[in-house]
Amino acid sequence: MKVRLLIGISLLAFLVSCEQRADIVIPTPAEKTVLVYFAADNNLAQYVQLDIDEMKQSMEEHPLSVSQHLLLYKDTGGEAELIELVNRNGQVIEKVVKTYPDRNSVGVEEMSEVFNDVFNNPAYEAESYGLVYWSHGEGWIPYPLPSTRWIGQDSSFGDNRMNLSEFKQVLDAAPHFDYILFDACFMQSIEVSYELRAYADYFIASPTETPVTGAPYDAILPYMFGNGRAADLAKAYYEAYAELYIPGYMMSSMNEPWSMGAAICVVEVAGLEGLAGATYEALQALEAPANCRALREQAFDYDKRSKSSNLYIGYYDLVDVMQVLLTEDAYATWKQAYDAAVPYYKTTDSNYSSSAGIFSMTGTHGVTQYLPSAPGVEACEAYHTLDWYDAAGISALGW
C-alpha cells in the first residue's frame, strides 16, 4: 500500500512538473541581427549621422520586426558608442547599449570587443547575421605599402589602419555572415573576396571610390534584413544613386544630393572556388608570362589617382585582364565561371574620383585584380601571401 502511495505521489509530481514546464517560454534566436560598424574617427565623421538618419527614416516607414536587430557602433572621435535603433510608438530612437573610451576602432582588440558585445550577447543571437563596414578603404594592400588607406582608418593616437589579415582575426571569432557590405572605397577586389570567403555568403562593394555620403541606407535597409538578398540590396543601392545621377555634372558642394554616379557589385562566395579554378587553368595554359606594363595599359584602371603619387595603387578590371591574356575560346570558358561568381554589377555611365573628377565607367565589369608596376616590388611580394595568388595560379604571370 505504501509503495502504491509513493508511486502515485511521484506520478502526480511528475505531471505537475510537466504542466509547469509547458508554461516556460524557451528563448529562440531572433530572425536577423545586423551590425553597422562606423570606423569614422577620420575626415568622414561628419557623414555618419546623415546615414543614421537615413536608417531611422527607413525604419519609421518600414518598421523592423521584434526579431530583427539593427546595431550601430559609432566612433567619430572621442567616446565611442554601441547603439541599437529601436522603434518606439512610431518613432525610432537611438538606444545606447554600451559606451567605450576614446580608442583605435580599427584595432583587432577593440573591434573584437565590439563584435563580442553584439554577437555573443544572448539578446542579439539570431538565425542569420549581416555586417556593414563603414570607413575609408583600400582593398587588400597591407599597411604601410605605401601610405594609403586600407580597410578602415582611425585618427586616435596617431594614424591607424586595419590590414586584411587583422580583419580576418576579428572575423575568426564572429558568426558566419549572410553578407558583408563594405561602405568604403576600392573594396570589391577579387583578392579581398577570396581572402574572406570563409566568413560570408556574399560581398557587396564598389570597385572604385564610393560616394562620400555613404550608401543610401533609406533605400537599402529593408534588404539588409532578408537572407540571400544581396543582389536586391545592391540593386536598391544603384537605383537610388542612378535616380539622382546627372551625366557629367560636377557637384559644387557635398551638401547637395549626390549626383555624380556610383558603382556597386556583388560577389557570391559559392562561385569563388569555380572562378579560382577556371583562372588557374586558363593561366597555366599561357605560352609565356604576361607583360605587366602592357596589361596595365590595356585593362581598365578604377584608380584615378596620379600614378606618380604615393597614394596610387592601381585597381584593374579583372575581366579586362583575362580578356587581354586569353584566346577568344579560353576567355569565353573563363567568363562563364566569372558570371557564376558575380550575380550583380551596375554602374552609372560615369563616376567621381576625388583626385581626377568625373571619369567614364564604360566597359567595366565590377571586380578588380592587382597588377604590379614591376615584378619584385614590395607590394608584389606582399601579394604572394594572399590566398588568391596561389589558388588562381598568378605565378604563371611571372610575378
Of the listed ranges 6-10, 41-45, 199-203, the least confidently predicted one is 6-10
CA pair distance 120, 99, nearest whole angstrom: 17
333-337 own/partner pairs: CB under 8 Å, 24+ apart: 333/278, 333/282, 334/278, 334/279, 334/282, 336/278, 337/271, 337/274, 337/275, 337/277, 337/278, 337/279
Find the mean pLDDT for residues 180-194: 96
Q: State whether CATH 3.40.50.11970 applies to domain 30-270.
A: yes
State the pairing for strand pair 350-353/368-369.
unpaired
**Residue 80 pLDDT > 60:** yes
Identify the residue whose cell numbers are 572556388. Answer: 273
**Residue 196 pLDDT > 60:** yes
Look at residue 19 in the predicted model and tell me its pLDDT.
Answer: 44
What is the C-alpha end-to-end distance of the chain, expressed in Å?
A: 90
**Residue 276 pLDDT > 60:** yes
Res. 15 pLDDT band, cuts 50 70 90: very low
Look at residue 5 in the predicted model and tell me its pLDDT.
Answer: 38
Of the listed ranges 5-9, 50-54, 357-361, the least confidently predicted one is 5-9
48-73 pLDDT, tens digit per residue, is 999 999 999 999 999 999 899 999 99
Identify the residue whose cell numbers are 511528475. Answer: 14
Of the listed ranges 152-161, 194-203, 261-270, 329-338, the least confidently predicted one is 152-161
Of all residues in the chain, the percent with pLDDT exceeding 90 is 74
CA pair distance 185, 150, nearest whole angstrom: 9
CA pair distance 271, 209, nearest whole angstrom: 25
198-239 pLDDT, tens digit per residue, is 999 999 999 999 999 999 999 999 999 999 999 999 999 999
**Residue 25 pLDDT > 80:** no
Find the mean pLDDT for residues 271-292: 93
Look at residue 311 in the predicted model and tell me its pLDDT.
Answer: 78
Neighbours of 258 (CB within 10 A): 19
Determine phi and psi for 58, rounding to 5 degrees: -65, -40
**Residue 331 pLDDT > 90:** yes
Look at residue 1 in the predicted model and tell me its pLDDT.
Answer: 40
Look at residue 203 in the predicted model and tell me its pLDDT.
Answer: 98
CA pair distance 106, 375, nearest whole angstrom: 31
How far out from the chain centre does Cα 387 lie? 18
Look at residue 255 in the predicted model and tell me its pLDDT.
Answer: 81
Find the mean pLDDT for residues 305-332: 92
**Residue 110 pLDDT > 70:** yes
CA distances (Å), 306 to each of 63, 369, 388, in order? Answer: 45, 19, 27
Look at residue 152 in the predicted model and tell me its pLDDT.
Answer: 86
Find the mean pLDDT for residues 361-374: 92
Look at residue 283 in the predicted model and tell me its pLDDT.
Answer: 96
Of all residues in the chain, the percent with pLDDT exceeding 70 is 90
Domain boundaries, the chain: 30-270, 273-340+366-397
CB 150 within 8 A of CB 138: yes
